[in-house]
Structures are given as C-alpha cells and as structure tokens.
Amino acid sequence: MTSVIETRSLTKTYGTVRALDGLSLEIPKGGVYGVLGPNGAGKSTLFRILLGLIRPTEGQAIVMGGPIGDVKASRRMGSMIETPRFPPFMTARQVLVWLSTAHGLKADNSRVDAWLDRVGLTGAADRKVRGFSVGMLQRLGVAIALITEPELIILDEPTSGMDPPGIQEMRALIRSLSDHDGITVVLASHQLLEVQRVCDRVAIMNKGKLVREGSVSELTTGGERLRLSVKPSEKVLQVLGAKGSKEGDAVIAAIPRAEGPALLKALIEQGVDIDEARWVGADLESVFMTETGSVQIPEAIQ
Amino acid sequence: MTMLADALFSEAYRFTKNRMTVFWSVIFLPILLLVLGSAGQFFLKQKMAQITTDPHLPPGLLSQGPLDLGHSLVKLAGDITNPMLLLFVLIGTATLYAGDYRWETWRLTSARNTRANLILGKVGVAKLLTIAAVIVFLIFGFIGELVKGAIHGQSYVFTFGAREAGQFGLLALAGYVRIVQVGLIGLLAAVMSRSLLATLFVPLVVSIGQFFLMQTMPLFGWEGTEWYAQAVIPGLASDNLKSAIIGGAQSAVPDATVWAAAISLIGWCVVLLVGAIAWFQRQDLSKE
C-alpha cells in the first residue's frame, strides 16, 4: 500500500452548503502531510468523514486500506479532532487507561506514564482534566492518538491554544513521530509557517475543493522573486510596472529567473544604483494566498 | 465479542470514576430511606410509649410480635419499582447514555469500535448499575427492618422457604427488568436528542404519563388484564406481574395476563434497544 488515505469525489452537503465538493485526494504513506485552507474550506469535514464521525453525501474514501467505518482499519490510526474534550471528573492518567481499555489495549502504568512523559504531562498525570488549559488538553489528545501505536495519525489544529514553547515542542514531536517512529502524520493547521516547517507535502483546499497539492518545496519553488535594494526605487518600480512591489526599503520583482540578468542590465543602463540583488523563494503563505484567493490573512499569522 | 468486552470494560471503568453519579444513583437513596425510616420508627416508639401509659388501656394492647425478616425481604423486593429508586437509578443511566454527547467524547471512541458495540457496552453497564442499586436498596432496607425491630424491642424470625425465595427472586427480577426498560427509554431519548436532561426527564414523563393512562383506562373500555393494555402500558404489565407473583397459586391474575405482561416488558426493552442502535448507526457524531 503506497497511500494511507484515498478519497474519490468525496462530497458532503449540509442543506444547501457544500462543505466538501467532489474532493479527490491521495495521501502517501510516510512523512508529515499538511491540509491547509481558510475557515470553511472543508478540512475538518474531511477529517470527520475519514474518522467515521460523519457520513459523506457522495463519493468514497479508503483509509488504511479499508472503507470508512471499517473498524479493523480504523484501529490502525489515531486522531485528535480540534481541542479534545474529556469527562471532567477524570484525571489525565484515568483518561488514558479508559481509552486504552476502549481500544482493546492493556493499560499498564508504565505504558501510560511513557506517553504522558512524551507529551510533557507527567506532572499533571493525576490532576483532573477539568482544570487543564487548552494546551494541556491538546497534549493529552495527542497522547491518546499515540497510545495505540498507530501507523497513521490525523491531527486537526494540533498547536491550537499552545504557547510558543509548546508549539515548538509539538512540532518536534510531530517530526519525531514521522522520522523515528515511521508514523504517517496528517494534520490541518492555520499556522502556515508551522506547516512549512514541519510538513513534507501539502494540500491546499478552498470551498470544499482541492486547489493545489504537492511537496512544500514544489509549491514554493515556482514563486521565486527577485529582491532588489536599489536607489531610486521609484524608477525601478516604473520599469517593472505590475510586476514590481515595495517591501520595506526593497523592491520585489515578480519575474522568472531567466529574466533576471536582462532586468539588472536594463536598470544599470538607466543609472540605477544597485546595492543588492538576490532571489528569494516564495513561502507557503504567499502560495496559500494566491491559491485560495484570500484577501485577509488568516488569524493565526496576523 | 472481544470488541464488545472492550466497550463494556471501558464504559464500566469510566463510570466508576464518576463518584458523584455513583453516589447519587446507587448509595444516596438507600441511606436516606434508612435514616428517615429509623427516625420515623423512633418517633412512633415515643408516641406508643405515651399511649401505653394510659391506665385505661388493657396491658399488652400495643405490644408487637416477632418481626419476620423473610417476609420483610419479599416486601422489599416488591418495592424495587418504587418511583424514588427509579428516579435515582435514572441519574446514573442518563449519565451513561448521554455522557458522550455532553462531553463530546464519541470522537475518541467511535472510530475504534462498532457503533452497536458502543451502545451495547453502555446498556451492559446500565444493567450492572441497576443490579448494584437494587442490591444496595435491599441491603439497606433489610438493615432498616433490623433497626425497626430493635427500636420496638421485637424478636426476629426468618421465614424464608421455597415459596418466599421464589417470590423474592421473581419480584426482584421483574422489578429489575422494569427499571432497565424505563432506562432504555432514556437511551432512545439520548441518541435522538443528544441531551442529558432529555435522557433523564423523558423516561420520567413517560412513566408519569403511563400512570395517568392506567387511571383513565376504564374510559376507553380497557381491562387491566388485556394484552393490548399491557402492550401499550408496560407499567401496567409490571404491576400485573407483581400481583401474580405475590398472589402465587391463589393469584387472581390469569396465566395469559402474566405471559402478556412478561412479553410486554421484554418486548419494550428489545424495541427500545434496537431503535436506539438503529438511530445511532446513521447519526453524525460531530457538531458542525
């Protein structure tokens, strides 16, 4: 099996709203796969369908080699959908024992302690979850996703509500799950910088459809731009026309790499003083903005 | 079977950690009844002591004979279906049936087991909870009888032959099935409404409705022993069963009525359970 998730023409409608609109997607085994999209793009709906929480209106999905709802296949994956909630009267340790039992696993203390340690909750193991912060709930959610030692983990907004050190730890954990444990991680996030840092491949969704898919390097390579530190910048902007924009003191030229030498020659001939000229890669944010046609920057990166 | 056992054990583990609910649904009422019952008997003893000082009364008029604890046990088994016990057991079953909607924890459990197993696991634990509540009720009730005897200075006898044992067992079983059946109304309410309050109150409202229906039956020309009346009103079926068991061979309740009553109670349990599973199978378990 080369793909862990495969969807074909997956559609989910709520009344007149099409949350998913004929989505066909193949997520390969191994690595960290990011699903990006603005609010309402259909990411959470996709994850909920993959986990069997909701039924698709049309289309089909294969997860770990089985159709949706196939319990044998589902037992090979772990998940965390948004900020998880737990029975408030239970401690973190009890939650792990409860879900280990529910998943048919022996819930011995050493195993539970190991996972609590891995997500940094050892000190809070015997505290009731009703007093947990959002970040702690997220960590416990990840521990639950991991306790069954799955081959695939689906994480919806895994860093939501976490402080910067927590985000960094979570990023390291996700990478180590993929690199050292060989688990395929599929995550949805609004934090584009985080996705760029942690994911190997990315799917960008908008209005329930897949608009772009590929490795992070593939997606960002095509959008290279020439960054120029020049004087006078107005003259350069005039030459570039619609292809030029100002970024601080620098001018950004959105031109193909092949046109670079000709542009520099033309600027020198016109007496422009060039301090520095270098190619900068496009980041995921700009690709995201282009592909989704977003006019506003998503909350998390404002 | 293994996956059903997973569902059952995990549900039981979680329920036992919910100590407040265990207290209210299993322990609170028997303790309350013991305390109130003992206080009532003590008050009665005081009043009787005042009366017996009256020189005009013949001596020994208010003295009591020995207390038959065997008969007390049979009477207690007949009281299992009392509305108070039903209410407090429903607190526990409502938490079991609607808890996952309230805490949004279906998303943690539903991917790794079949939906039918998840519901059956809950029903299994609800049955265990009911057994526990009934046993604690009987134990505390029995202690209450001992206290009553001690307060009134009665001697104890224990008449518990085959007849009493049979009555005790059958009354306890019929009462247990009746509580489970009312709880299953809560299960159906839980999956249809996703609400804890509805899970608690719908069975109560239905039970009260049945009580009024039983009072107004003659207006429809229904006899309490007819099969259709028992089929529509499981509370009536439960009462008929109780009368038949207490009456024994001398019971005025016809055999056909007893069978119809038993079938009604069990039939309602099956219909409610199957209905709840069928609804749950096609339910979206996520808020959108």
Amino acid at A70: D
Chain B residues in contact with A71 (beta carbon < 8 A): 3, 111-114
Contact in structure between A48 and A35 (CB atoms under 8 Å): no
Contact B286 A53 (CB under 8 A): yes
For the domain spanning A224-280, the CATH number is: 3.30.70
Q: Which helix (H) or strand (E) holds A225?
A: strand A225-231
Contact A99 B2 (CB under 8 A): no
Torsion over CA: A238, A244, A246, A250 (sign): negative
* Neighbour tally for A168: CB within 10 Å: 14
Contact A19 B105 (CB under 8 A): no
- A3-220 adopts what CATH topology? Rossmann fold (3.40.50)
- Whole-number percent of chain A with pLDDT over 70: 94
Contact B20 A89 (CB under 8 A): yes
pLDDT higher than 70, residue B59: no
Contact in structure between B189 and B276 (CB atoms under 8 Å): no
Contact A99 B10 (CB under 8 A): yes
| Helix segments in chain A, DSSP class H | 43-50, 71-74, 92-102, 109-118, 134-147, 164-179, 192-198, 216-221, 233-240, 260-269, 284-292
Rounded Cα gap, residues A203 and B56, in angstroms = 99
Chain A residues in contact with B112 (beta carbon < 8 A): 71, 74-75, 102-104, 148
pLDDT band at A13 (very low <50, low <70, confident <90, very high): very high
Chain B residues in contact with A51 (beta carbon < 8 A): 107, 110-111
| Residue A69 Cα, gap to closest chain B Cα (Å) | 7
Query: What integer pLDDT is reported at residue A118 of this predicted model?
Result: 86
pLDDT higher than 60, residue B37: yes
Quick: pLDDT tens for B65-75: 889 999 999 99
CA distances from A89 to A92, A95, A127 (A): 10, 10, 10
Quick: pLDDT tens for B90-132: 999 999 999 999 998 998 888 888 999 999 999 999 999 999 9
**Residues listed for chain A:** 302
Q: For testing the chain B interface, which of A46, A101, A105, A130 should be mutated: the one with the most B CBs within 10 Å?
A: A101
Query: What integer pLDDT is reported at residue B61 of this predicted model?
Result: 64
Rounded Cα gap, residues A124 and A131, in angstroms = 10
Which carries the bigger pLDDT value, residue A291 or residue A77? A77
Q: For testing the chain B interface, which of A5, A71, A72, A91 should be mutated: the one with the most B CBs within 10 Å?
A: A71
Rounded Cα gap, residues B143 and B149, in angstroms = 10
Q: What is the mean pLDDT of chain B?
A: 92
Contact B288 A45 (CB under 8 A): yes
Chain B residues in contact with A54 (beta carbon < 8 A): 284-286, 288
Quick: pLDDT tens for A57-93: 999 999 999 998 888 888 889 998 878 899 999 999 9
Which carries the bigger pLDDT value, residue B37 or residue A197? B37
Q: Which of A79-88, A280-289, B1-10, B225-234 has the lowest mean pLDDT?
A: A280-289
**Helical pair B255-281 and B234-247, crossing angle rounded to 10 deg:** 140
Q: For testing the chain B interface, which of A5, A53, A76 should be mutated: the one with the most B CBs within 10 Å?
A: A53
Contact B10 A101 (CB under 8 A): yes
| Window 18-77 of B, Cβ < 8 Å to A | 18-20
Amino acid at A13: T
Mean pLDDT across the stretch B183-210? Answer: 95
B251 touches chain A (CB under 8 A): no
Mean pLDDT across the stretch A243-264? Answer: 84
pLDDT higher than 90, residue B177: yes
Residue of B nearest to A95 (CA): B14
Mean pLDDT across the stretch B155-174? Answer: 94
Rounded Cα gap, residues B203 and B186, in angstroms = 6
Contact A51 B107 (CB under 8 A): yes
The conformation of residue A31, written as its DSSP 8-state character, comes to: S
pLDDT higher than 60, residue A260: yes
- Whole-number percent of chain B with pLDDT over 70: 97
Among B14, B105, B111, select the one facing A85 at the smallest CB separation: B105
Rounded Cα gap, residues B240 and B249, in angstroms = 14
Interface of A with B (CB under 8 A): 14, 19, 45, 48, 51-55, 71, 74-75, 77, 79, 81, 84-90, 94, 97-99, 101-104, 144, 148
Q: What is the ipTM of this complex?
A: 0.88
Chain B residues in contact with A5 (beta carbon < 8 A): none
Which carries the bigger pLDDT value, residue A172 or residue A299? A172
Query: What integer pLDDT is reported at residue B124 of this predicted model?
Result: 97
Amino acid at B193: S
Chain A residues in contact with B18 (beta carbon < 8 A): 87, 89
Token readout for B274 is 């199957």
pLDDT band at A295 (very low <50, low <70, confident <90, very high): very low
Beta strands in chain B, from DSSP E residues, in sequence order = 67-68, 156-157
| Residue ranges matching CATH 3.30.70 in chain A | 224-280
Query: What integer pLDDT is reported at residue A297 of this predicted model?
Result: 38
Query: What integer pLDDT is reported at residue A222 of this predicted model?
Result: 64
Contact in structure between A164 and A122 (CB atoms under 8 Å): no
Contact B288 A102 (CB under 8 A): no
Chain A residues in contact with B13 (beta carbon < 8 A): 94, 97-98, 101
pLDDT higher than 70, residue A299: no
Contact B105 A81 (CB under 8 A): no
pLDDT higher than 80, residue A301: no
Query: What integer pLDDT is reported at residue B288 of this predicted model?
Result: 47
Amino acid at B159: T
Rounded Cα gap, residues A128 and B60, in angstroms = 61
Contact in structure between B271 and B110 (CB atoms under 8 Å): no
Judged by DSSP in three states, A226 sits in strand
